[in-house]
Each structure stands twice: as structure tokens, then as C-alpha cells.
Chain A
């Protein structure tokens, strides 16, 4: 029997938000790339909420864009409403969120993929990963034996030997060989959709689940766990009485996601969303039918995200809340389907209809698609390095929901990083890891691979300790130079960034040196703004710093001001106004970097170090941190253990001399 055998550089399993970014990144870096999907029609599908961005997720998209990813560009082409959240708050928590036209989003992404060189799209279910024993050299490196002097033969212990990936096999038996394979299987591994007593072994929207790959992963020693998530019903727009709801408009002036999108090109006619509320009657129906909910009856075993609770979860956990918000959002411009944000559920369909119909404006609502919960297999991400490569299987990467995250944006950024590193693995280049002080992407991935996550992980601004530095407005300044170095940002874009940075710097410098005195004009200006009058001369930057003034405001008394774009003016304003806070965070980052730069040998056996406590040895062996900094973030490793590690490192260093 002859089988199809083809050879590629990079294989991507899955074409959701992680898979698309991974495949595009690899192909754009010159890798012959093939991406597998169970349905070409569902490329970049948005099976849940119709938005991109939002608090902290908007940051992720901006960062992805700054590195040369696609999501920002794609949503700029396909959004139907846009809002800057927290616009009245500090710049660090401004967050962009857009409503997407789902079909259009999928179509545009597919078009981009289809027209990218080196990229092949293939509809097929991947059933197996192909793996063989790694070469001696690779094994030594991965087992912490790089430094032969610092090891004993006991170092490897009883662990599985290091392997390397060689390709995949599809359900039909076709073999595709590649040095790098990226698993971006989303919620499709052994997926099961559940509402009420109904349970179907399919992916979202009745799409085919991937029922074979989990077994192959387990055979290769990968630990699997089971998560769940859920989605609300989609309903017919014509059956809704919008007069009973509050209309929610988009922003007047729209800001694009991508740094490359011309702001003037996105000032479109926007669609509205609508806000309504549940009430006591809704909650009563839910409570009466809890026994029929698979969540509470025990049919659902997977762990769900606390961030996206079902409406029955909310009613049970917050019994004192008299009402919950329901956001009614269009699924696209050319469909009557509306999404009922805030009311995801796995209750039986008769209960769903009854419960939705208690909500003002939904009294006669007709369901197009039921709400449901979905369970799926994913991995424990402590099996990955922060490069997203498996620690025990060279060349195999994980990205997106398979790594235990939730959300389109979280998936996309992992896809991008996995795509970059899978390519660099082949090119023999140094892996790229963003740290917690560089990007939300760094926080997300570090949290995934270093902390114990027992639910689908969602990004939140509170997770980023240096968030004043990790703003969405400066994502390009933080990351585009890195994207340029990687090869995903072209010369022109990079040059523009350098120019922008120079302009910012020059202008800040000017403001720090130009002084104004208590002239009539200045005093009049200050009085007008309720600001303290001047007694003697002061610099313009001092005036910008005053809470009641800003860079924009003082234009009146700043005679030599050059013309600068709005984006640049914003950067100048932020840099001066928040200088104190920014300095403090920079100081903290300096300390943080010191520990990040103290490298540990991955794969090292910590039971060799006598001074460590037992718990610390176990945790360090499990997580195999790459730096003292990462080790210090593992729960169960104490500050004293870190001191011990430092002493140990010093001992090794001296021994090698």
C-alpha cells in the first residue's frame, strides 16, 4: 500500500487564531509551512463572542501587531464598532475593543493566508504526531548536561528520554514530515458540546472534533487535562424589541488596532450594541432548573474559566445580585443573528428559551443557535518552556487553548511566538522569549509555564506588574525593534518607528529646557485653567506635569512648538506626566532583570543541591526554570531556596574556572 508522503519545514495543526498567526509567521520567515484544519471554511473562526480586544486583550493585539502579527490588521478591515475602554483612566489601562463582522473576519484572514507565499492550507484531521529519539547532543542539552562538569549520571533520573518530532500523520494515513510541529488544536481535542441532557461529540458549531490526536500525545508522555468553556445563544434580530434596551454606540473617533492602519481609513459607519438586564424571574427559572444543568449535575467534568461564568454560575455564586447585564451584539453586518453576551449557559433548550424570554426586549425572542458548554482536552503547560516548545520533545510546540488559555487574543499571541520559535529552531537561531517587563505576551506565557493554572487562563491587567510600562500606546516602541530583528517587520516600518522615537525624544528635551516666566499671557492662561500662577520662571515640562494641564493644553503658551502627530503628542504627554511612576517601575524592572539574567540549566536535577527544601526540589524539577527569576515565581520555592540556588550557581561558576 502506498501512502502520501510530503515534506515541509513547519507543520501547524489547527487554523484558529493561534494556528493562523503561527502559520503566517513561519511562512513569512521563509519556512515552507503547511497548516491543517478540519474545515477550510472555519479558518480564524470566532465561535464565541464577536469581539476582538477589550481590557488587557487589546494590549495583546497591539503587541502582536507591533511584532508583525495579523490579528490587528484583520480586525481593522472587518470591525463594525469600536470603543476605547477606560478612556478617562490612566493611559496604562486604556484598552481598545472592536465588534467584528465574524464572517468577514474569517473571509479576510483566509484570503491573507491563501495569498501568503510558502503557506499551504490543507483540510485534514491530524491523528498522530511522529516522534523519534533525539540525537545524543540534543538529549544532553535538554537534560542539563551541557556543562559536563556540573552533572552526575544521576542527573537524568527516571525521566523519559528526550525525543524529537519528525512530522504528523493524518487520519487517512498520509504522512507529512517536518522539523517543527505546532499544536494549535483549540477546543477540538475530544471535544464534546453539551446543553441539558444533550451531549454531542463535536467541536463548536457542529464542526468535526479531533478524536485521535489526544491518544498519540499521551503515548508520547504528554500530560493531558480537561477544560470547559461555554457560549450563549444566538438569536434572531427580528424577534427583539430594542425599544426596551439601552443603545450602545461606538466611539466618535475610531482608533485602529494596527500601527500600520491609517486612522483616517477606519472612520466607518458603525453598528450599535444593546444593553438589557436579567431579573428575579430569570433567576427563578434558572434556580428551578439547576438539577437539569449538566454543570451542576456532574455531567461536565472539565474546569471552566472564572472569567466567563455561565448565567447559572452567576446566579448561584452571587445570589444577592438582583440583575445581571446582557449585551446584545450583532454577529455581523449581513446577518440577523445577535449574540447574547453575559448569558452563556448549558441549560436544556426549553429552559434556555424560557429564561431568555424573561429579559426585557427578549420576550418573543427566537433562538437561532442554542447556548452550550464545550469540553476539550488540553495540556498542562508546565510541560513547555517559555519558547512554547515542549521540554521533552524537541521541535514540538503548543499554542493557544491547548496550552490552557482562553480567548482569541491569548491564542493569537501564542501562535505568533510559537511560529517564530518553530522557525528559529530550524534556522538554528536563538529562541525568542519576551519577559514580564517587555510585554503582556511575556506575562501571559510566563504565567502559563511557571504557575499552577487550574482554569482556562485569561489575560488581565492586574496580572502585569509593570503595566505602566506595558501600555497599548507604546507597544510599537517596545516590540517593533524585536519584530524587525526577527524578520517580520520590514525596513520601512522600522525606520518610521525610529523617526517617531527621535521626534518624541527631541520634543521632550525641548520642553525640559524651554522656560516661561510670569508674563501676562502665561498668567492669564494659568488662571483660565485654575492653575497656580507663576512667581518666577519654570520649564514647560513642569507645567505639563500639573494635574490640571497637559501637553495639548499648554500649546497656547508654547510659541516654538513644532507640528507633531496626535500619536506623538500623546507619547510626550504620558512620558512627562507619569514620569515619577514610570521611573519607579523602571527601577523595579532593573531588579527583576538581574534575576532573569541569572541563568539556570534547563533539565537540571535539583535533588543534587543539598541545601534546598524537599518541596523546592520537586517543584524545580517539575518546572525546570531557565533563570533564577523564573524559579522565584514558582509556588513552593522560598526566598531562602533562591539564596541557596545563588550560592550553588556561584559554586559552579568557580568550579569551572
Chain B
């Protein structure tokens, strides 16, 4: 039944060091063989079902990860289709690259709930589970939609929307002229569409590049920096962002009061949010900032609480800390560079904090002297691998899907170019233009409906 061979990351990323990339469908083994090199040089296609093989995932000549490949032939697999699973060891970043490579080699990104759906349709699951399956599909879809809309930064969706509008306008012109050739003429249009296609291809390439280096999706662990005003939150953000910052996108202005940076820390993607200092305030503007800070805290994956070791822990700190989830909070004692503070005082503050957070040792930190950074990194990765920090990996597949759709849209635009160059009739390459339009629409979660007909009538005076 499954015409498409699909792939996705099938473990909750971040809860363990191992990530599984699962491929399912008629061509699963074939796709896997394109990226997997077995130690012995044997192809998976030649291996019996339900066997495990040691080898490497290659993206062209680049080795990405050392993996175990599990081959299961249908109907004896979860989906009842041919299935290959790669157990990857290299952490989140690497699992993601493995998935990307698989997708570039013939698999399609799985739709929300698709593995389960296939399992059910394949007769794998019990009849009584049907309702659960239906609910799962609907809820996963809901989440993916949210991920898609929320994770796609505003400027990107705006850009895609704009490119889409441009394509639709060209389409509408072609269709208007074909429908009413005595009114609108396509003479000399080849030149115009070539220009258009060149420009469009460049725009799409730009978007694809930015997707490739991860700028476009805020897919990291949502890390919220909180604390009282002047605790040194911003300098910590700057330090983290400045050190080892692989990718930094400045999105100031998307919210008035929360500064956001994406960083990679030891192979983990962190989406850092610097919030307004928390205190009781009469100032209406400041109080908006404070309530936003709290709302970010609520759905944070990781909280960095910054306390000022110089002024010590006071009643305000205590109140804020008691509202935080200790499981996902790291306390940073900042300003340890100020000499007046003795070891004893620091221990005193630590005790105070421990009384609030339970068994917990704070990280001594100096944003100025850049000390404590290594300890912080270790702490984060410990928590990550202990499963204390986890976040929803639906984002990865969403990102992969977007990238794939952009690629496909660009491919369609290239076909338009080739068509116009060969002076193929407009009604033929308009099919490719429509494809590009549809692909970009899927990124924004928009269906095509009657867009074209509407645009024809909006922009062109038609009919007798």
C-alpha cells in the first residue's frame, strides 16, 4: 500500500545518547544501501531479515557516523513493510545529519503518525487500537503544525509567502492569456519568465542554504535565562553566544523584551532566551516583560537561573526559585570575580539555594573572567544524557520536511527555466510553476484551493 518510502528519527532525541533513524517502505533497503557502508563491504540487500550490521553512514565521501543497521523485511516489521533502522551514536547533531542524508537519497520525510498508521493499515495492530491510532495521528499532526508554524521564524514564512505570491502571479498571467488569448498575449514571455526563474532559483537557494546551516529553525533546546534585574543575565548570554558560537541569529525585535540566540554547545543546539529581570514592579511596560519571562519559563526545556553572588540570595530569589522546576534548572552564581567574596560566603549562598532547590550544587561563574563555562557545559550535557532535559524532536522532522520541500520547489523552478530556454509552450512549464507553488504552500501549511482562479480574476480583466 505504501507507495512512498518514508524516514524519520524514531527516538525522542536527547533522552539518550542513541538516536534511531527508521526507514520504511518498498525501497527502504535500497535507500539504506545508498548511505550505509558495511564493514565487510556487503550490501544490506544481500543480508537476511532481522540481522544487525556494523558499519558507517556516508554522505558522499564524508563519513557521518558509526552505526548499527537493523534490517527487517516485511511483513515481519512494525509497519509490515521493509524496514531499516540505523542506531546512531554521535549525538543529536549527527542523528539529524543521518536523517538528512537518508532523505536526500530517496526517502520522504514521514508524516505525523505515519509509521503507526502504516502499522495499522498493514494489519499489525489490534482492531481495538484503531481509535488510539486515529487520535495519535490527529494529535501528532497538531503538534507538527504547531512546530511548523512556531518554529519557522517570522521573516522566513514572510519570505516564502512572498515568493509564493510572485509565482502565483506569473501563473495567473499565463492562465489568463491561455484562457483569453484575444485579450492577453504571451508574445515575448519566454524572456520574462527566464528572468523570473533565475531570480526565483537564487532566492530559493538562499533559503535552502540558511536552512542547511540551521538558521531558519529554532530547533534547539529552549534555554531560558532568568534572574533578578542586574544579576548579570545578559553578560552570560553574551558569553555563551560569543564563545563557541557556531550560529548566531539576532532576532531582537521579534519580541520587545526577550533577546534570543541560537548556539551550539558541545554538539547540542541551545536556543537561548534572555528575559527581563524579574521583580515586582509598578511600571506597566516592565511588568509585561516580567510576565513574558514567566511564560517562557513555563515551556522551557532548560532554565539557567542567574544569582548575584555579591549581593547574595534574598527573599526575591527565594520566591522565584521556588517556582522553578528543579529538575531542569541550573543555578549560576555570577560575579565570583569580585574579590570581596570569600569561599565561606559562597558556601553560605549555596546552602541557601540548596534549601530551595534541594540537593543541588550551583555553578560558580564569572561572565567577566569567563570561568565556570566548562563546568556549565558538563552540567548541561549530564542533564541531557540523564534525560532530565528533553525536547520534542518533531521539530527535526519538520525542519527536514521544509528543507526537502524547498529543494523540490527549486527543482521545479529549474524545470521552468529549462522549458523556457527550449521555448516549450507556456502551458507545459506552468505545470512546474504550479508544483513549486504547491511545495512552498506545504511549508506554510496552506492548501492550494482556488488560489489560481482567484488571482486570475483579481489581477486580470477577463471575459467578454
Asked whether A86 and B178 contact (CB < 8 A) given A306-B462, A640-B112, the answer is yes
Greatest chain A CB density within 10 A among B114, B422, B453 is at: B453
A93 to B138, CA, bound (A): 41
**Chain A 621-651 interface 0/1 with B at a Cβ cutoff of 8 Å (1 = within):** 0000000000000010011110110111011
Q: Does B341 contact A (CB under 8 A)?
A: no
Find out whether the CB atom of B426 lies under 8 angstroms from the CB atom of A89.
yes
The distance in angstroms between the C-alpha atoms of A467 and B431, with both chains bound, is: 9
Q: A578–B112 Cα gap in the complex (Å)?
A: 37
Is B425 a contact of A611 with CB atoms below 8 Å? no
Q: In this assembly, does A385 line the interface, its C-beta being within 8 Å of a C-beta of chain B?
A: no
- Contact B121–A650 (Cβ < 8 Å): yes
User: In the assembled complex, how far is the CB of residue B457 from the closest CB belonging to chain A, in whole angstroms?
Assistant: 4
Inter-chain contacts of A249 with B (CB < 8 A): none
Q: Which residues of A contact B134 (CB under 8 A)?
A: 609-612, 644, 647-648
Residues in A neighbouring B130, C-beta threshold 8 A: 647-648, 650-651
Chain B nearest Cβ from A110, distance in angstroms: 27
Listed from nearest, the 6 A-B pairs whose CB atoms lie closest are A611-B134, A90-B425, A640-B141, A651-B130, A462-B175, A341-B464
| Cβ contact within 8 Å between B450 and A93 | no
A461 and B464 CA atoms in complex are apart in Å by 17
17 A-B residue pairings within 8 Å (CB atoms): A55-B180, A86-B178, A92-B428, A93-B178, A93-B427, A307-B457, A309-B461, A461-B427, A581-B431, A584-B431, A611-B133, A612-B138, A639-B141, A640-B138, A646-B117, A651-B127, A655-B127
CB proximity to A under 8 Å, residues B117-152: 117, 120-121, 123, 127, 130-131, 133-135, 137-138, 141-142
Q: How distant is B19 from chain A, measured CB to nearest CB, in Å?
A: 25
Nearest-CB residue, chain A, relative to B171: A462
Asked if A554 is an interface residue, CB under 8 A from chain B, the answer is no
We find that the number of chain A residues with CB closer than 8 angstroms to chain B is 58
Distance (whole angstroms) from the CB of A254 to the closest CB of chain B: 18
Contact between chains at A654 and B453 (CB < 8 Å): no
* CA distance in complex: A139, B283 (Å): 69
Contact B461 A318 (CB under 8 A): yes
| Among candidates A321, A451, A547, A594, residue contacting B461 with C-beta atoms closer than 8 Å | A321
Give min CB distance, B445 to chain A, whole Å.
Answer: 9
Query: Min CB distance, B396 to chain A, in Å?
Result: 19
Q: How far in angstroms is the closest Cβ of chain A from B333? A: 48
Closest to A580 in B: B428
Cβ–Cβ contact A92 & B181, under 8 A: no
Cross-chain contact of A640 among B137, B423, B427, B450 (Cβ < 8 A): B137
Interface residue? A357 (CB, 8 A): no
Out of B137, B171, B452, B463, name the residue touching A611 (CB < 8 Å): B137
Q: A86-B181, A462-B175, A547-B423 are in contact. Are A644 and B138 (CB under 8 A)?
A: yes
Q: Which residues of B contact A451 (CB under 8 A)?
A: 450
Q: Which residues B307-325 have CB closer than 8 A to chain A?
A: none
- Tell me whether B449 and A610 are in contact (CB under 8 A): no
Q: Is A342 an interface residue (CB 8 A)?
A: yes
Given A56-B179, A307-B463, 10 additional A-B pairs, CB 8 A:
A55-B178, A85-B181, A275-B182, A307-B457, A327-B182, A467-B427, A585-B431, A611-B133, A643-B111, A650-B120
Report if A610-B135 is in contact (Cβ < 8 Å); known contacts: A462-B456, A638-B141: yes
Residue of A nearest to B464 (CB): A341
Q: Does B113 contact A (CB under 8 A)?
A: yes
In Å, the complex CA distance between A325 and B462 comes to 10
Cβ of B251 under 8 Å from chain A: no
In the complex, chain B residues whose CB is within 8 Å of the CB of A467: 427
The reply to whether A49 and B464 contact each other, CB–CB distance below 8 Å, is yes
Which chain B residue has the least Cβ–Cβ distance from A655? Answer: B127
Does B463 lie within 8 Å of A308, measured CB to CB? yes
Residues A461 and B175 in contact in the complex (CB < 8 Å), given A640-B112, A640-B138? yes
Structural contact, B179 and A55, CB atoms closer than 8 A: yes
- For the complex, is B282 an interface residue (Cβ under 8 Å from A)? no
Does A107 count as interface, using CB distance less than 8 angstroms?
Answer: no
How distant is A339 from chain B, measured CB to nearest CB, in Å? 9
Among A307, A611, A638, A650, which residue has its beta carbon within 8 angstroms of that of B135? Answer: A611
Asked if A324 is at the interface (CB within 8 A of a chain B CB), the reply is yes
CB distance from B109 to the nearest CB of A (A): 13
A596 to chain B, nearest CB (A): 15
Complex alpha-carbon distance, A651 and B128, angstroms = 9
Chain A hits for B452, CB < 8 A: 462
C-beta contact mask, B404-415 vs A, less than 8 Å → 1, else 0? 000000000000
| Residue with the greatest number of chain B CB neighbours at <10 A, chosen from A462, A585, A609 | A462
The reply on A425 being an interface residue by CB < 8 A is: no
B159 contacts partner chain A, Cβ-Cβ < 8 Å: no
Select one of B141, B449, B464 contacting A635, CB under 8 A: B449
Asked if residues B138 and A613 are in contact (CB atoms below 8 Å), the reply is: yes
B338 lies within 8 A of chain A by Cβ? no
- A591, CB-defined interface residue at 8 Å: yes
Closest to B187 in A: A88
| CB pair B131 A610 closer than 8 Å | yes
A306 contacts B457, CB within 8 Å? yes
Within the complex, the shortest CB–CB distance from B179 to chain A, in Å, comes to 5
Q: Compute how far the CA of A487 lies from the CA of B11 in the bound complex, rounded to whole angstroms.
A: 59
> What is the bound-complex CA distance between A93 and B113, given in angstroms?
41
Structural contact, B462 and A644, CB atoms closer than 8 A? no
A654-B127 in contact (CB<8A): yes
Contact with B along A585-616 (1 / 0, CB 8 A): 10000010010000000000000011111000
Distance between A99 CB and nearest chain B CB, rounded to angstroms: 13
Contact B181 A55 (CB under 8 A): yes
Is A591 a contact partner of B113 (Cβ separation < 8 A)?
A: no
Closest chain-B Cβ to A246's Cβ sits at a distance in Å of 11
Q: Does A317 contact B (CB under 8 A)?
A: yes
Within 8 A of B (CB), among A496-547: 547
B179 touches A461 (CB 8 A): yes
Cβ < 8 Å to B, chain A residues 30-50: 49
- Residues on B with beta carbons closer than 8 Å to the beta carbon of A121: none
A460 within 8 A of B: yes
Shortest distance in angstroms between A62's beta carbon and chain B's nearest beta carbon? 17
B-facing residues in A50-91 (Cβ within 8 Å):
55-56, 85-86, 89-90
A50 to chain B, nearest CB (A): 11
Which B residue's beta carbon lies closest to that of A654?
A: B127
Q: Which chain B residues border A321 with CB–CB below 8 Å?
A: 461
Complexed CA–CA distance, A650 and B427 (Å): 40
A476 to chain B, nearest CB (A): 21
Which chain B residue shows the least CB distance to A340?
Answer: B464
Which residues between 443 and 480 of chain A lie within 8 Å of chain B, taking CB atoms?
Answer: 451, 460-463, 467-468
Contact call B183/A325, Cβ cutoff below 8 A: yes
**Which residues of chain A are near B428, meaning CB under 8 Å?**
90, 92, 468, 578, 581
Measured CA separation A462–B112 after assembly (Å): 31
Kindly list chain A residues whose C-beta atoms are within 8 Å of the C-beta of B186: 89
CB-CB < 8 A to A619: which residues of B? none
Complex CA–CA separation, A308 to B464 (angstroms): 6
Q: In the complex, what residues of A have CB within 8 A of residue B113's CB?
A: 640, 643
Quick one: CB contact mask for A262-282 with B, threshold 8 Å, 1 for yes?
A: 000000000000010000000
Closest to A638 in B: B141
Contact of A327 among B135, B141, B464 (CB under 8 A): B464
Q: How far is the CB of B418 from chain A (nearest CB, A)?
A: 11
Q: Is the CB of A591 within 8 A of B178?
A: no
Across-interface contacts of A342 in B (CB, < 8 A): 464
Give Cα distance in the complex from A646 to B456, angstroms. 35
Contacts of A314 in B (CB 8 A): 461
Docked complex Cα distance between A619 and B168 (Å):
28
Cβ of B61 under 8 Å from chain A = no
In the complex, the answer to whether A462 meets B179 with C-beta atoms within 8 Å is: yes
Q: Mark A542-573, 1 if CB is under 8 A from B, else 0.
A: 00000100000000000000000000000000
Using Cβ atoms and an 8 Å threshold, which residues of chain B touch A90? 424-428
* Of B3, B425, B449, the contact of A89 (CB 8 Å cutoff): B425
User: Which residue of chain B lies nearest to A86 when distances are taken between CB atoms in the complex?
Assistant: B181
Contact of B464 with A547 in the complex, beta carbons under 8 Å: no
A463 to B449 CA separation, bound complex (whole angstroms)? 10
Min CB–CB distance B257 → chain A (angstroms): 35
The residue in chain A whose Cβ has the minimal distance to the Cβ of B434 is A465
